[in-house]
Amino acid sequence: MAGKHSLFGPVDPAADAGYDEDHPPRKGFFTDTSICIGCKACEVACKEWNDVPSDHFSMLGSSYDNSFSLNANQWRHVAFIEQPKRMGEQESGLRRQAAERAVSLGMPAMGAPPDVLKAEALRGDPPQGEVMLPESGQDDAVDRPDFRWLMSSDVCKHCTHAACLDVCPTGSLFRSEFGTVVVQDDICNGCGYCVPACPYGVIERRKGPEGAKNVGIAQKCTLCYDRLDAGATPACAQACPTQSIQFGDVEELRERANARVETLHEAGIMDARLYGNDPDDGVGGAGAFFLLMDEPEVYGFPPDPVVTTKDLPDMFRKAGLAALGLLAGVAVSFVGKRG
């Protein structure tokens, strides 16, 4: 069971947890944020399949993100980031749109309705329905605007070294045969220790809404354990219309991710980078990893997370020394004669 790399280092998590050699290959997600369109189908599909309550309906003023963060009632969360930055060789499409309008196809168009235009023409005003664009090459902002929208669907990382699982005192959190990390709802007593242990802030104790199931219990993505058991794809990946969320064997996904980042680099999109794919990283590699277009913290990820239990042996050593110090201190206090 407990091996040399049980707390830190590359390891097959299912084998480390004691599954036989014939356990299924490790499953995970590769979320390619470069093709996420922010449709939130993953959020909806996850809630539908896993019966996750919808309890927050407020406009947060953070682009199109109104679901705030991953939490007990949000197992997929789509982040929206608006940046004054160009995305690779992106084009605005404005010039093409203008050209299409010149040859009218009788399609509904933006701008004022025709009778208004007519009235304006009678008054001698310039027609406002027509798009006035500067000559190509004159104004780069029209053709290639300095604006990009980053979208990313976040999820539990199903770490190789999962702090939530390590610190769980009841055994409610366990490692599945697929190498994923799952809460057993009927075991968890809601101690809440997993919540501060997670370096990504994923797992949370469900606070409500009243009447919802599992209130008071730690909740997070299960990588659709029930669907995996039946050989099906997790709901979010199934629902993703652009294959931004890809499900599969972690090893194969890692290769796919490497190839994808290479393709993007060749296309001149040098911002592309992988996050959580390295089995030597601070959590031993995530089962759910990402292709990002900017620094991790831009998306709300920690830049270089490390599983807290990496330092646990040293913590216990220090505590042991402190305990011995206390024992010795009290003994010395009682040795003196006076008083």
Residues 1-40 close enough to bind another protein by CB under 8 A: 5, 7-10
Q: Which two tokens stand for residue 158?
A: 């199903």
Residue among 113 and 336 whose Cβ is closer to another protein: 336
Q: Which two tokens stand for residue 44?
A: 């909806």
Residue among 9 and 248 whose Cβ is closer to another protein: 9
* Nearest distance from C-beta of residue 299 to another protein, angstroms: 6
Chain residues 274-293 in contact with another protein, contact rule CB under 8 A: 278, 280-282, 284
Cβ burial of 237 (10 Å; 0-12, 13-18, 19+) is buried
Contacting another protein (CB under 8 A), which of 125, 255, 262, 311? Answer: 311
Number of residues that bind another protein (CB under 8 A): 85
Residue among 51 and 314 whose Cβ is closer to another protein: 314
* Choices 68-76, 107-115, 126-134, 265-273 (CB under 8 A): range interacting with another protein: 68-76
The DSSP H or E segment spanning 98 is helix 94-102
The contact mask relative to another protein for 113-152 (x = CB under 8 A, - = no) is ----------------------------------------
Cβ burial of 334 (10 Å; 0-12, 13-18, 19+) is exposed
* Choices 51-59, 87-95, 141-149, 298-306 (CB under 8 A): range interacting with another protein: 298-306
Number of Cβ within a 10 Å radius of residue 331:
9
Contacting another protein (CB under 8 A), which of 99, 141, 267, 322? Answer: 322
* Nearest distance from C-beta of residue 319 to another protein, angstroms: 4
Residue among 105 and 332 whose Cβ is closer to another protein: 332
Q: Which whole-number Å values give the CA distances from 319 to 166, 183, 302, in the listed order?
A: 18, 29, 28
Residue among 203 and 223 whose Cβ is closer to another protein: 203
Contacting another protein (CB under 8 A), which of 35, 212, 215, 274? Answer: 215
Taken as a whole, the chain contains a residue count of 339
The contact mask relative to another protein for 180-199 (x = CB under 8 A, - = no) is -------xxxxxxx-xxxxx
Contacting another protein (CB under 8 A), which of 183, 204, 223, 291? Answer: 204
CB distance 280 to 57 below 8 Å: no
Cβ burial of 215 (10 Å; 0-12, 13-18, 19+) is middle
* Nearest distance from C-beta of residue 52 to another protein, angstroms: 17
Residue among 145 and 201 whose Cβ is closer to another protein: 201
Contacting another protein (CB under 8 A), which of 168, 182, 291, 293? Answer: 168
Query: Nearest-5° angle of CA 7, CA 9, CA 10?
Result: 120
CB distance 277 to 257 below 8 Å: yes
Number of Cβ within a 10 Å radius of residue 99:
11
Q: Does 217 bind another protein (CB under 8 A)?
A: yes
* Dihedral (Cα; 278, 16, 204, 149), 10-degree rounding: 20
The residue with tokens 């605005």 is 92
